[in-house]
């Protein structure tokens, strides 16, 4: 228990330190999504914004457009270059599936690769599981538009693995078998605990899976012109094939391959950016602070306008881009976000599942350290890419292609390679497109495997069959549920095409941090913890986090949309009355006013999904409230309904989590 308390103290202090600096910004929170937007960045990239956004960007950017910027209005991958690279990556991964299928003979092989993955291999796989296309595109895009705050956002994901290393990696590997339910049911009533744990696992996986699937569809639609439904079906078929036939072995190697490709692409592009500054960090940051396009962009950001009007601006616009507070402006939202990221990662089912694939606890710790090194290096590279895109593309040019900045890294690839030759630009863009596609495949495969394991192993084998199922039946159940989960992922992805799925990532991390983590930690480290505590912690933590997100600013409130539209056209009408609109821009301004009035009429009086006119909970991430609720519910239920049997089995679980006694022998792969 002492070790646990010290670890929690270290992690929370690091989390607070990581997010404390931007708290200095005095402004109130803006309407921009501060939590989930970068995490599902591709999902927010509608293809319709590619061409017509050019005119709007000219209004938003006061700096005169340079000839070089005109090339960045549209972004399209060259199919003749991109498709062969796609086919090569898909072919390589399918070869892995064929090889893996021959190795997968038992339930242990399917769920955990027989425990035969080395620490280094597992570290690369964890990194591959964690470095989604959304983080690659979204973080670099956020940095290109908001500077330092984008980097601070990525810190949470890196610090998160300190929690994993200090608290859950070794005990989970020693105490568990295949799933979250295995860990929680060891000294509790197995059926209710496994049932609730499976529901939580499937919920988290579905939230995260939907966001990734929608992101895949939008990314392929934007870059390759592939119809959205076709992209979703293609990703789904490959995802199902990886999991159903190859199990954990195939999923692991697909993640390793994808991580290697992603690091290679990010490194090559970072080198090209560094060459531009003569490999001098001083020159690099000076280029940022003195770039006129960046200065003009920052001057139009709402928080900078407020600081300037209030006389609290501490630096000129270029230098301000290198300081915190342009995006993360609400102190409570920052702390809540930090708590969800740092603690949620350790409760993610597909991350926990990875620790069952290594042969020893030492290898489990090694895999976390390897993953931290890779992920840390990756976010350093994305920082270079984000700032490099701001310098060489301009924030205005990036927003012409995508308002959220999600295509910044792709645009930079084409720009940097194109300076050597047009073919090299197409080749580098095609490579990153293919890597982003492989990244999505790897992440969704891990999520499908975690969800199917919860259904097949926890519900079917241990609840319905009461643990009496032979290996052949277990493998069949695992493959059948993987197929069903994958098919449902395709259906949900198609259904969510026109939906704002930004809140789903917030939900995934909120449920993992508020429901899963409290019960995992207390199951491993508290002697009195029992069935009542597990069920209460999972149910209250999950319901609290889901409920708070549903009444938060993440949801759409038509009345709020109508109010914003009214403010917009009122401002434009005032500018016309004051003679501030030039004659050549009058027609366009009148059309904008007409569109905003129509938008107000359409949304006025509308309600959110829960019938609300405005958010009841003002934070975008509920972690600061839902995480304590999850812990409190688990503690109170345990104390109210004590269980002598759970206490008597404490010594066994304590020995097991520290020694690994009882784990199956590893199988070499």
Structure tokens at 478: 């695992």
Express each pLDDT in 237-260 by its tens digit: 888 888 888 888 988 998 999 899
The candidate with the shortest Cα–Cα distance to 38, out of 133, 127, 161, 160, is 133
Q: Is the pLDDT of residue 12 over 80?
A: no
R_g (Cα) of the chain, nearest Å: 25
- In this prediction, residue 633 carries a pLDDT of 95
CA atoms within 13 A on the CB side of 105: 4
As a whole number, mean pLDDT of residues 499-505 equals: 65
Average pLDDT, the chain: 79
- In this prediction, residue 260 carries a pLDDT of 92
As a whole number, mean pLDDT of residues 168-173 equals: 79
Q: Tell me: domain 2-35+45-458+482-557+607-659, CATH 1.20.1730.10, correct?
A: yes
Express each pLDDT in 454-479 by its tens digit: 888 888 888 888 878 888 888 888 88
Residue 265: Cβ-neighbour burial (10 angstroms; 0-12, 13-18, 19+): buried
CA–CA dist 230, 558 (Å, integer): 31
Q: Is the pLDDT of residue 535 over 90?
A: yes
- In this prediction, residue 662 carries a pLDDT of 59
CA atoms within 13 A on the CB side of 615: 17
Express each pLDDT in 277-327 by its tens digit: 899 989 999 999 999 889 888 887 877 777 777 776 666 888 889 888 888
Q: Given CA atoms 151, 333, 38, 349 in this order, what sign does their dihedral have?
A: positive
Contact status, residue 97 vs residue 242, Cβ threshold 8 Å: yes
- Residue 227 main-chain phi, psi, to 5 deg: -55, 145
Express each pLDDT in 49-67 by its tens digit: 333 333 333 333 334 334 3
pTM listed for this prediction: 0.76
CB within 8 Å of 87: residues ≥ 6 apart: none
Going by pLDDT thresholds of 50, 70 and 90, the confidence category of residue 541 is very high
* Domain positions in the chain: 2-35+45-458+482-557+607-659
Looking at the chain, how many residues does it have?
Answer: 669
């Amino acid at each position: 228990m002492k070790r646990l308390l010290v670890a929690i103290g270290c992690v929370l202090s690091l989390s607070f330190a990581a997010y404390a600096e931007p708290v200095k910004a005095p402004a109130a929170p803006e309407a921009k999504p501060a939590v989930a937007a970068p995490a599902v960045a591709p999902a927010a990239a509608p293809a319709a914004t590619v061409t017509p956004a050019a005119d709007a960007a000219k209004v938003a950017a006061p700096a005169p457009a340079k000839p070089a910027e005109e090339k960045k209005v549209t972004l399209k991958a060259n199919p003749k270059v991109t498709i062969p690279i796609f086919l090569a990556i898909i072919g390589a991964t399918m070869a892995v599936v064929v090889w893996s299928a021959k190795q997968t003979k038992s339930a242990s092989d399917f769920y955990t690769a027989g425990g035969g993955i080395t620490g280094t291999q597992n570290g690369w796989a964890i990194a591959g599981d964690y470095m989604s296309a959304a983080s690659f595109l979204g973080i670099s895009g956020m940095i290109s538009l908001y500077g330092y705050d984008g980097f601070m956002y990525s810190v949470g994901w890196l610090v998160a693995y300190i929690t994993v290393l200090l608290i859950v990696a070794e005990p989970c590997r020693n105490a568990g078998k295949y799933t979250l339910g295995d860990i929680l049911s060891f000294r509790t009533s197995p059926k209710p605990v496994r049932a609730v744990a499976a529901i939580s696992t499937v919920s988290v996986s579905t939230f995260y899976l939907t966001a990734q699937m929608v992101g895949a569809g939008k990314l392929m639609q934007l870059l390759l012109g592939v119809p959205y439904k076709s992209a979703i079906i293609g990703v789904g078929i490959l995802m199902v094939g990886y999991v159903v036939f190859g199990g954990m072995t195939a999923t692991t190697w697909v993640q390793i391959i994808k991580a290697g490709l992603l690091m290679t692409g990010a490194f090559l592009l970072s080198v090209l950016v560094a060459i531009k500054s003569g490999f001098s960090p001083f020159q690099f940051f000076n280029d940022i602070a003195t770039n006129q396009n960046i200065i003009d962009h920052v001057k139009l950001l709402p928080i900078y306008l407020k600081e300037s009007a209030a006389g609290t601006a501490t630096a000129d616009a270029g230098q301000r881009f290198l300081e915190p507070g342009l995006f993360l402006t609400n102190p409570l939202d920052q702390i809540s976000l930090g708590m969800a990221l740092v603690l949620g990662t350790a409760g993610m089912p597909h991350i926990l599942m990875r620790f069952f694939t290594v042969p020893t606890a030492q290898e489990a710790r090694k895999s976390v350290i390897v993953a931290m090194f890779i992920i840390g290096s990756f976010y350093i590279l994305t920082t270079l890419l984000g700032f490099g895109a701001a310098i060489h593309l301009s924030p205005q040019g990036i927003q012409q292609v995508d308002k959220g900045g999600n295509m910044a890294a792709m645009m930079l690839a084409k720009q940097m390679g194109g300076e050597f030759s047009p073919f090299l630009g197409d080749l580098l863009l095609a490579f990153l497109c293919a890597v982003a596609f492989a990244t999505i495949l790897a992440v969704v495969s891990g999520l499908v495997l975690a969800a199917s394991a919860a259904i097949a192993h926890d519900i079917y084998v241990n609840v319905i069959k009461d643990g009496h199922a032979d290996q052949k039946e277990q493998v069949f159940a695992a493959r059948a549920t993987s197929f069903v989960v994958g098919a449902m992922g395709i259906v949900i992805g198609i259904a969510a095409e026109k939906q704002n799925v930004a809140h789903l990532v917030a939900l995934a991390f909120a449920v993992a941090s508020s429901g899963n983590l409290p019960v995992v930690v207390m199951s491993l480290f508290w002697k009195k913890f029992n069935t009542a505590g597990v069920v209460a912690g999972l149910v209250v933590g999950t319901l609290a986090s889901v409920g708070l997100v549903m009444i938060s600013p993440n949801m759409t409130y038509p009345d709020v949309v109508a109010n914003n539209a009214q403010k917009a056209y009122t401002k434009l009408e005032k500018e016309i009355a004051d003679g501030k609109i030039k004659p050549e821009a009058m027609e366009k301004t009148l059309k904008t006013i007409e569109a905003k009035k129509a938008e107000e009429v359409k949304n006025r009086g509308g309600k959110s999904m829960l019938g609300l006119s405005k958010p009841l909970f003002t934070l975008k991430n509920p972690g600061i409230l839902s995480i304590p609720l999850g812990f409190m519910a688990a503690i109170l239920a345990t104390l109210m309904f004590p269980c002598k049997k759970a206490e008597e089995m404490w010594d066994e679980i304590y020995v097991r989590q520290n020694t690994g006694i009882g784990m199956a022998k590893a199988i070499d792969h």
